[in-house]
Amino acid sequence: MKCLVMSVKAGFGHHSTGQAVMDYLTDKGVECVMLDTFEYINPRLSESISDGYLFSTKYLPDVYGKAYTLLDKREEEYDKLSPVTVVSKLVTRKLKDFVVDYKPDVVIGTHSYACLLMTFLKEKEYICCPTFGIVTDFTVHPFWESTKIDYYVTADALLNNQMNKKGIPTEKILPYGIPIKQKFSTKLDKAEACEKLGIDDKFTVLMMMGSMGFGNISACLEKIDELDTEFQVLCVCGNNKKAKKEIDDHVWKKSVVTYDFIDYIDLLMDASDCIITKPGGLTTSELLAKKLPAILLNPIPGQEDRNLEFLVNSGVAMMSTQTFPVDEALYELMNNKWRMDLIKESVEHIGKPDSTKKLCEFVLEKCQK
Residue-wise pLDDT for 249-296, tens only, equals 999 999 999 999 899 999 999 999 999 999 999 999 999 999 999 999
pLDDT > 90: percent of the chain: 67
Same fold for the pair 2-181+354-368 and 186-350 = yes
Number of residues assigned to the chain: 369
- The confidence band for 303, taking pLDDT boundaries of 50, 70 and 90, is confident
Q: Which residues pair with 274 in a beta bridge?
A: 205
Range in 78-87, 119-128, 145-154 with the lowest mean pLDDT: 78-87
Which tens digits make up the pLDDT trace of 313-343? Answer: 999 999 999 999 999 999 999 999 999 999 9
Judge contact between 276 and 207, C-beta under 8 A: yes
* Three-class secondary structure assignment of the chain: CEEEEEECCCCCHHHHHHHHHHHHHHHCCCEEEEEEHHHHHCHHHHHHHHHHHHHHHHHCHHHHHHHHHHHHCCCCCCCCCCHHHHHHHHHHHHHHHHHHHHCCCEEEECCHHHHHHHHHHHHCCCCCCCEEEECCCCCCCCCHHHCCCCEEECCCHHHHHHHHHCCCCHHHEECCCCCCCHHHCCCCCHHHHHHHHCCCCCCEEEEECCCCCCCCHHHHHHHHHCCCCCCEEEEECCCCHHHHHHHHHCCCCCEEEEECCCCCHHHHHHHCCEEEECCCHHHHHHHHHCCCCEEECCCCCCHHHHHHHHHHHCCCEEECCCCCCHHHHHHHHHHCHHHHHHHHHHHHHHCCCCHHHHHHHHHHHHHHC
- Classify domain 2-181+354-368 by CATH number: 3.40.50.2000
Right CATH for 186-350 from 3.40.50.2000, 2.60.40.420, 3.30.70.20, 1.10.10.10:
3.40.50.2000
Reply yes or no on whether the pLDDT at 160 is more than 50: yes
Terminal Cα distance for the chain, rounded: 12
Dihedral, CA of residue 255, residue 258, residue 263 and residue 268, to nearest 10: 20
Pair 349, 289: CB distance under 8 Å? no
Statement: residue 127 has pLDDT above 70: yes
Query: What is the average pLDDT value for the chain, to the nearest integer?
Result: 86
Pick from 309, 310, 312, 280: which is nearest to 53 by CA? 280
What residue spans define the domains of the chain? 2-181+354-368, 186-350
Task: Over range 213-238, report the average pLDDT.
Answer: 88
Band of pLDDT at residue 15, cut at 50, 70 and 90: confident
Q: For residue 311, is pLDDT > 60?
A: yes
Residue 93's pLDDT is 77
* pLDDT score, position 43: 53
Cβ(329)–Cβ(320) below 8 Å: yes
Q: Check residue 56 and give its pLDDT.
A: 41
Q: What would the mean pLDDT of 355-365 be, rounded to a whole number?
A: 97
CB 112 within 8 A of CB 8: no
Q: Please give the pLDDT value at position 235.
A: 95
Q: CB under 8 Å to 336, separation ≥6 — which residues?
A: none
User: Using one digit for the tens of pLDDT, what is the confidence trace for 50-106?
Assistant: 444 343 444 444 543 444 454 555 555 555 545 555 566 667 777 888 999 999 999
pLDDT tier for residue 11 given thresholds of 50, 70 and 90: low
Mean pLDDT of 194-212: 89
How far apart, in whole angstroms, are the C-alpha atoms of residue 263 and residue 247? 21
Confidence category of residue 346, pLDDT binned at 50, 70, 90? very high
